[in-house]
């Protein structure tokens, strides 16, 4: 069973979930998490460059970060997600405040977001999660599984906490100050 799971992890274009494994096995039973833990132990013991990580509520074969540069060199064309600063701002607001209406995003950003929201919907990074109960019943937006995969997150709760972000910004700002400045 372990070899079957390893082959499926290798071949799967998407993270392999327990539900998908059960569909593929059609009647046979296997505990995906237990098999992944066993495979990861074998990979670690053998000093392999690979490990199986939990991504978007499933599992995927990944390489350790120290091999990133070599893999990057292998691919001449960048497959990185490229977003404009406006799209990144809107996406961050949606990720942290979801479900959120377009009007709330615009209120926080201070500018209209029609094209940015449309672009994020087209890239499947956000989706419509429902409608607001208030006047006008505005559409509410939230992030998708594609968002989790694009940013290497298992769950939305893996995002850095706002307090952690503000501490990083504060620490970065203090490094750039001139020694002659006084408070």
Sheet holding 100-101, edge to edge: 100-101, 139-143, 126-131
* Contact present, 59 and 36 (Cβ < 8 Å): yes
pTM listed for this prediction: 0.55
pLDDT confidence of residue 177: 45
Please state which CATH number belongs to domain 85-172: 1.10.10.10
Within 10 angstroms of residue 74's Cβ, the number of other Cβ atoms is: 7
Residue 122, CB-side half-sphere exposure with 13 Å CA sphere: 8
Integer angstrom CA distances of residue 132 from 3, 138, 141, 178 = 48, 5, 10, 48
pLDDT confidence of residue 79: 55
pLDDT confidence of residue 10: 95
Q: Which residues contact 111 (CB under 8 A, 6 or more apart)?
A: 86
pLDDT confidence of residue 183: 36
Same fold, 2-74 and 85-172: yes
Ordered by start, the domain boundaries in the chain are 2-74, 85-172
Please state which CATH number belongs to domain 2-74: 1.10.10.10
pLDDT confidence of residue 135: 87
Q: How far apart are CA 171 and CA 174, in angstroms?
A: 5
* Contact present, 148 and 157 (Cβ < 8 Å): no
pLDDT in tens, the chain (183 residues): 999 999 999 999 999 999 999 999 988 889 999 999 999 999 999 999 999 999 999 999 999 999 988 887 787 555 567 899 999 999 999 999 999 999 999 999 999 999 999 999 999 999 999 999 988 899 999 999 999 988 888 999 888 887 877 777 787 665 444 444 443
Residues in the chain: 183
């Amino acid at each position: 069973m372990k070899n079957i799971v390893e082959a499926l992890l290798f071949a799967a274009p998407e993270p392999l979930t327990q539900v998908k494994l059960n569909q593929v096995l059609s009647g046979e039973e296997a505990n995906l998490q237990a098999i992944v833990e066993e495979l990861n132990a074998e990979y670690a013991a053998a000093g392999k460059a690979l490990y199986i990580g939990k991504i978007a509520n499933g599992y995927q074969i990944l390489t350790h970060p120290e091999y990133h540069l070599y893999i990057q060199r292998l691919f001449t064309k960048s497959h990185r997600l490229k977003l404009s600063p406006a799209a990144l701002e809107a996406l961050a607001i949606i990720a942290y405040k979801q479900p959120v209406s377009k009007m709330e995003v615009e209120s926080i950003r201070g500018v209209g977001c029609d094209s940015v929201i449309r672009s994020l919907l087209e890239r499947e990074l956000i989706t419509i999660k429902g409608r607001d109960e208030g006047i006008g019943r505005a559409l509410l937006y939230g992030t998708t599984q594609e968002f989790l995969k694009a940013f290497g997150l298992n769950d939305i709760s893996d995002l850095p906490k706002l307090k952690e972000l503000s501490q990083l910004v504060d620490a970065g700002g203090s490094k750039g100050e001139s020694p002659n400045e006084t408070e």
